Amino acid sequence: MLLCIDVGNTNIVLGIFQDDTMLNHWRIRTERDMTSDELGILVNNLLVPAQFDIHRIRNVIVSCVVPPLLNAFKEFCLLYFDHEPMIVSPNIKTGMPIKYDNPKEVGADRIVNAVAAYQKYRTGLIVVDFGTATTFDYISAEGAYEGGAIAPGIIISAEALFQKASKLPRVEIFAKPKTVVAKETMDSISSGLVYGYAGLVDGMVNRIKEEVGSDLTVIATGGLAPLIKSEARSIDYIEEFLTLEGLNTIFKLNSPR
């Protein structure tokens, strides 16, 4: 079995794969000062209720955008599996040309998403990932990563309002407000965030399509993707496990036959 781990700034997502089948998955909060021992306890506590024996895991692949945690995951894998994990880095084989001016600058999660999306759809794509940042990535019809855009994520935008505007409350974004023109402060903030981000997505997608001169399939992923898709007109499909699927694909590309 393969353990795929996507370490993001807000959440760590884990998935167990047997060949191309994902057997289970988990999402936990990112703690930047976790040790390898704490990771071992945490992973075991996730696997036991799901009736997975950690010793059945033969390989691990990690995509990490939180550098302080990378060594902890390496040590965790050495402790439990006697080898370091495969790390998604600029040197790894992805099967996808990276057309960024400096490919080392592209976040590992963005490349993994692009690989997974193209593997599944085999057409020109825009991948929108609603994570700590909201990212837009363009993949050409020929399967090259061409670049993209980065905007502040919904959750950190809401948190910035709470921290910087003294009279505005903290708002949890779980559902869209009933109206765009709200009658109270909490709903006003929710309206600005939900409908505002839907407009951001539609605007960015339309501009990318105009710039590249092509009609593109738009894939959304990330925890808030379903909420924004309900209001954005430009999103075609939601792929909840895009990053984990991409990690599984990249592992197979780099594994000895």
Catalytic positions = 109
Q: In this structure, what DSSP letter does residue 90 have?
A: T
Contacts of 35 (CB under 8 A, 6+ apart): 72, 75
The Cα–Cα gap between 250 and 92 comes to 8
What CA–CA distances, in Å, run from 58 to 14, 130, 254? 15, 31, 15
The SS3 call for residue 208 is helix
Q: b/e string for 143-176 if b means 16 or more Cβ within 10 A?
A: bebbbbeeeebbbbbbeebeeeeeeeeebebeeb
The Cα–Cα gap between 166 and 252 comes to 51
Look-up of token digits 């939180």:
66
Burial-class residue 13 by CB neighbours within 10 Å (0-12, 13-18, 19+). Answer: buried
**Token pair of 183, please?**
């009658």
